[in-house]
Amino acid sequence: MRLSRDAGDLYMLGQMLLNMGLVATMGGDLEVSKPRFLEALRVAQQVDDRTAQFFLLTALGWHAANSSQARLAAQLLGAAESVGAGAGSSVAGPFVPMIAAAKESAIGALGTAKFDAAFEAGKRLSRDEAVRLALGAPEHAGIPAPAGAGAGPLAKRELEVAQLIAEGMTNKQIAARLFISERTVATHVGHILNKLGFNSRAEVAGWMASASR
């Protein structure tokens, strides 16, 4: 996991985070497993790894069922079923008994009717909505574009990095906030400077400030 992060290999980082989360899960350590799963899900969202999103929604559904969040568990498990169908993936290996136990626990807490209603509601979510639900983000979460200016020439992730630059964060701090490697942040910073025709982070911060007024 550390080597993948240092190399800036997001796909492999996501896989290693998922594996580490599963190890913690099978060891009964819920406090350790959830942050691994959440970071892996953010990575899977960034690289558009839909199979990984399916497995992580499944894992987080299991986690919710074991954390007294039965309704959330039902929704995430329903969402995972739809995302898995879209990605051509299904549960296998350690996930099979995990999901069976999660469903049984959630049904026991909610009752069959309420579980089924929440499960179906989860199935109706879009993939992006399901990921936001799993991450605990509000419907329109994220760093907004500067008011009145749109994103301009910057892509969404570049705009996020530019906003954090404007807040005075270092590349290391930005990497920690966005769950990406410092090398990836440096690449984004280079693209931002090139697209805006700037030579310094201070100019980026000034552009963000003026665009927000």
Residue-range definition of the domain harbouring residue 162: 156-212
Tokens coding 70: 């039965």
Q: Evaluate whether residue 144 is within a structural domain.
A: no
CATH label of the domain that carries residue 98: 1.25.40
- Spatial separation of the C-alpha atoms in residues 9 and 11, rounded to whole Å: 6
Q: Does residue 145 register a pLDDT over 60?
A: no
Amino acid identity at 87: A
- Mark whether 26 and 129 lie in a shared domain: yes
The span from the CA of 53 to the CA of 185, in Å, is 23
| Cα 72 from Cα 110, distance rounded (Å) | 11
Per-residue pLDDT reduced to its tens digit, 85-133 = 988 888 777 778 878 988 999 999 999 999 999 999 999 989 988 998 8
* Same domain assignment for residues 71 and 116: yes
Query: Position of tokens 């929604």?
Result: 57
Q: What is the pLDDT of residues 195-210, one digit of tens each?
A: 887 888 888 887 777 6
Say if pTM beats, i.e. exceeds, 0.75.
no
Q: Which of 158, 149, 161, 167 is nearest to 195 (CA)?
A: 158
